[in-house]
Amino acid sequence: MKLHPIGVIHSPFTERAGMAIQPSGAAGVKGTVEVLPEYAEGLQDLDGFSHIILLYRFDRSAGYKLRVIPFMDTVPRGLFATRAPARPNHIGLSVVRLERVVGRVLHIDGVDILDQTPLLDIKPYVPAFDAPQECRTGWLEGLGGAARAKRSDERFA
Amino acid sequence: MKLHPIGVIHSPFTERAGMAIQPSGAAGVKGTVEVLPEYAEGLQDLDGFSHIILLYRFDRSAGYKLRVIPFMDTVPRGLFATRAPARPNHIGLSVVRLERVVGRVLHIDGVDILDQTPLLDIKPYVPAFDAPQECRTGWLEGLGGAARAKRSDERFA
């Protein structure tokens, strides 16, 4: 299975270190998604959605370990119980706010993605499909504020 | 970018037609995720989470069109404003309930995925990261019950 980028994500974060220390998470962090011209037609109707799901490539992560110590934790955890970017398939997922669509550029808020990240897919975010109720969040619950913080793959890695 | 399945998803749905007519969506539909032995160690700690995000390959979809008529609609919509499986990169996403973990098999509920679907990734579902508040859902809002129905990629395609 071979993937091809359909665009690129622009953000203020040129390296992971900067993302990791964002104290209040990604809320308020602005960025853009630039979709390649050949896919622009597929953006029609997207502006009706307040939030979108971005799938992208963790292109600055290589390899993986099956146990990782999350940034905010001190105990090794199973990789699939974390959002660490170094995974068997390096696919990242972020739910971001869609502020406006200008041609083939999406203006987004809540960006916890490195600049120049290759975009793989855009899906509309639909609470009825994507937001289950009454959730437990495992090891994150012991971290207090961590589980309530806006996500950052880096802090949560 | 080349991807490799890390497991396989088992469900009652052997063809799309059966999924499409599920009147009440996928809630209550049980399935399993069988993770390959070499990745089993990464499942540690996952059982603390009530819900997980599955990324998988839409392996029975080929090609794509940039405008599609969703199953519950009559108007062509931009592909990226739908969850249609025929997309430039054929990556599917489902949030499912994790009922229990038995060895390297995850028992899940809320399955809207075809049987034998190749698994690409598992991420813990964390409301603080993945569930924004005050959402608008574009063209789906005009459909009434559709937007409130449990998701099915097929009905939503």
| Tens of pLDDT, residue by residue, chain B (157 residues) | 789 999 999 999 998 876 744 444 688 899 999 999 999 999 999 999 999 999 999 999 999 999 999 877 889 999 999 999 999 999 999 999 999 999 999 999 999 999 999 999 999 999 988 999 889 999 888 776 544 444 444 444 4
Using the Cβ of B62 and the Cβ atoms of chain A, whether some distance falls under 8 Å is answered with no
Residue A4 pLDDT greater than 90, yes or no: yes
Label each residue of chain A as H, E or C: CECCCCEEEECCCCCHHHHHCCCCCCCCCEEEEEECHHHHHHHCCHHHECEEEEEEECCCCCCCCCEECCCCCCCCEEHHHCCCCCCCCCEEEEEEEEEEEECCEEEEECCCCCCCEEEEEEEECCHHHHCCCCCCEHHHHHHCHHHHCCCCCCCCC
B118: chain A residues, CB-CB within 8 Å: 1
pLDDT at position B17 is 74
Q: What's the gap in Å between the CA of A16 and the closest CA on chain B?
A: 18
Using the Cβ of A78 and the Cβ atoms of chain B, whether some distance falls under 8 Å is answered with yes
pLDDT at position B147 is 46
Q: Which two tokens stand for residue A43?
A: 């953006």
Using the Cβ of B129 and the Cβ atoms of chain A, whether some distance falls under 8 Å is answered with yes
A126: chain B residues, CB-CB within 8 Å: 83, 135, 137, 140, 147, 151, 156
The residue of chain A with its CA nearest to that of B130 is A95
pTM: 0.89
**Is B46–A127 a contact, with Cβ atoms under 8 angstroms apart?**
no
Nearest to A44 among B81, B89, B121 (CB): B81
Task: Tell me the pLDDT of chain A averaged across its residues.
Answer: 88
Using the Cβ of B83 and the Cβ atoms of chain A, whether some distance falls under 8 Å is answered with yes
Nearest to B91 among A55, A82, A88 (CB): A55
Q: What's the gap in Å between the CA of A149 and the closest CA on chain B?
A: 6
The residue of chain B with its CA nearest to that of A7 is B88
**Is B128–A122 a contact, with Cβ atoms under 8 angstroms apart?**
no
pLDDT, tens only, A32-65: 999 999 999 999 999 999 999 999 999 999 999 9
- Which sequence spans correspond to the domains of chain A? 7-131
**Is B50–A139 a contact, with Cβ atoms under 8 angstroms apart?**
no
Residue A146 pLDDT greater than 80, yes or no: no
A70: chain B residues, CB-CB within 8 Å: none
Q: Which two tokens stand for residue B21?
A: 């007519």
Query: The complex's ipTM?
Result: 0.89
A20: CB partners within 8 A, 6+ apart: A71, A152, A154, A155
pLDDT, tens only, A58-116: 999 999 999 999 877 889 999 999 999 999 999 999 999 999 999 999 999 999 999 99
Homologous superfamily (CATH) of A7-131 is YaeB-like (2.40.30.70)
**Could you tell me which of A30, A136, A27, A35 has the C-alpha nearest to residue A81?**
A136
**Is A2–B6 a contact, with Cβ atoms under 8 angstroms apart?**
no
**Is A129–B151 a contact, with Cβ atoms under 8 angstroms apart?**
yes
